[in-house]
Amino acid sequence: MSTRIQRAAIAIATAAAATKALAIGINEQRFEALGGRLDEPLSFLHLVQTPLERESLQPRFRNVGQLRFPGTDRDCTATWLGEDEQHAFVMTAAHCVASDFRHAPWARSLGPVTLSSRLPSRHEGRGLAFIPMPRPSQDGDAVEQDGSASDSDLAILRLPRRTARPLASETPPLLDDLDDDPVASAHPVGAVTEFVGYGAWHVGTRSIDRAGRLWARAPGRATGRARQRFTVGYQPTGDTDRWFTLTSGDSGGAFWQARWGYWHVVATASARDKGWRGSEGPRMAALVHWVKGVFPGIRTLSDRLSVGAGAPFVSRDHSEDVSSGTVVYLVPAQTGATGPAEPATSGASGYSVIQAVVEDELTRHRAEIRLRGQRETGCGWASRMEDDTTCGERRGARLTVSFHAEDNPGLMRGSYVGQIEIEAVGTSDGRYRERFPLRLRIGHLTAGTVTASRGYESPDLAGLLSAQDGSPVRVALPVQARAHRDGGGVRRRAALESRHRHGEGCAGRPGPNPRAARVPAAGDCRRLRADADGSDG
């Protein structure tokens, strides 16, 4: 299929367009395999619809719903991303809310909308629609220019929250923020991709006037010169795994893939090829930072696979992947990390020690930290991560990796990052091995507190930074909403965040440590000098 997808009427389901039916487009042979008949599609449609609708009700698609615009006959598909104290955030296609989305303002008022999903709360009301700026054509190439319409076809809707409290019991979906999957990229048609939508029923290329929330699956992959687009191929006839396509009403739905067993959104639905050769939409990894700017509360795949200070990593249950026995967790040979390398059996509670090299984001200082690794056993207690102890039929075997300050008494204050790899290994199924990355984001003693009676003083920054050129050590105030520099010092509206090089106390008076930064208490002087030599730096 050409990298250029000619946008069909499905993608121009804009403010003036109409959609009346709900489903997907399905390949003729797949329609027959599910019990349908091409000569009487309506009479046997229920046989096809039942299994596809059942799959659409899987828990991972709970956040997917139908987006309606009261007073119109327009429909789209959308995904609930989460809530803050006042608003709910919903992701859909930009062309669902603005026919001129490539020329629309970054934020625009939104008329009444309703999202009906399997969540316990109905989301509706007036709000704002946020739309990213379109990607510029890379060299004026007409083909790229035409195909780029899908690249920015994304909108985040901010709607009023209708519940007294955020839906804490509901888990927002994971959004892709990682590089290409090398396994999927190596395959010419991509990796298995799933979709749930509310589009118009089609069999092959023929329209069928029926409705239903349906699931579909086909291979999909990143495309475009900057890997900013996602494409799913379609073959209307013949025996193929490319058996579904988007139709009117599917716009804005999420394309899902599983990586290391974690289902996440890799793209959103935008357009179908006029020749019925496939569908496409903007790739999530290319826009996820923009999405996070609109709603900082999104969950990303890298967040899910991370360990933080006070935020342990708890894996999915890898024992669900094996037909017999259970799984244990090992630290395979790698640079910068050591830990259990062989399975064991002890039948006792405890934890394993993982040693990992991390780097301070500010100073580039490297340090070795100790992490704890534990595996659930179903016995009411946790064992070492490599221990295969299991009680009865309860084979649950989630891994927990955590950071504890008491295990790292010599670790200097800092914001440390790193990455290690963990491998889940089957105890009875020797073929099962699942290796996955674990990101380390350890903010160790970095938070400071200023009260009415007590100020905050940093550690000796000169010792941490190890300046070799003899230049003064300074602290700079990063751009932020709740603090700003005022003349010769800093007006404190929020806690001061230390940055590169610094050094003096309040109003020109050094603190006890002349190379430490000091934020005074409320009753003390009102400003913090910018550097040690008395300049405004």
Could you report the average pLDDT of every consecutive run of 10 residues in the chain (537 residues)? Answer: 47 36 75 90 88 90 89 87 90 90 81 77 81 69 49 91 63 88 63 90 84 85 84 92 89 94 95 86 94 94 94 95 92 97 89 97 94 92 92 81 94 93 93 95 75 63 53 63 58 39 35 46 37 33
Q: Is 392 exposed, middle or buried (0-12, 13-18, 19+ CB in 10 A)?
A: exposed
C-alpha count within 13 angstroms, C-beta hemisphere, residue 279: 37
Cα(519)–Cα(287) distance, integer angstroms = 38
Distance CA 440, CA 242 (A): 38
In order of their start, the domains of the chain are 25-60+173-286 (2.40.10.10), 63-160 (2.40.10), 306-444 (2.60.40.2520), 447-537 (no CATH)
Q: What is the pLDDT of residue 4?
A: 47
**What is the reported pLDDT for 333?**
96
User: Looking at residue 355, what is its pLDDT?
Assistant: 98
Residue 383 exposed, middle or buried by CB count within 10 Å (0-12, 13-18, 19+): buried
**Three-state SS across 268-335?**
ECCEEECCCCEEEEEEHHHHHHHHHHHCCCCEEHHHHCEEEECECEECCCHHHHCCCCCEEEECCCEC
> What is the predicted pLDDT for the residue at 424?
97
| Strand, helix or coil for residue 495 | coil
Q: Of how many residues is the chain composed?
A: 537
Q: Give the C-alpha separation, 33 to 53, whole Å.
A: 16
pLDDT above 70 coverage of the chain, percent = 71
* 138: number of Cβ within 10 Å: 12
Q: What pLDDT was estimated at residue 482?
A: 62
Strand partners, 263: 258
* Closest of 66, 93, 216 to residue 153, by C-alpha: 93
pLDDT of residue 463: 54
Q: What is the pTM of this model?
A: 0.77
Helix, strand or coil for residue 241? Answer: coil
User: What is the pLDDT at residue 487?
Assistant: 54
Please give the pLDDT value at position 450: 67
Tokens standing for residue 501: 């090089």
CA–CA distance, 180 with 58 (Å, rounded to integer): 26
pLDDT at res. 14: 38
How far is the first Cα of the chain from the last one, in angstroms, to the nearest whole number?
57
pLDDT at position 98: 86
Q: Under the phi-then-psi rule, with left for phi > 0, alpha for psi from -120 to 50, and beta for the rest, what region is 220?
A: beta
CB 405, CB 399: distance < 8 Å: no
The per-residue pLDDT for 336 is: 96
Strands 306-308 and 433-444: parallel
Q: What is the pLDDT of residue 430?
A: 83
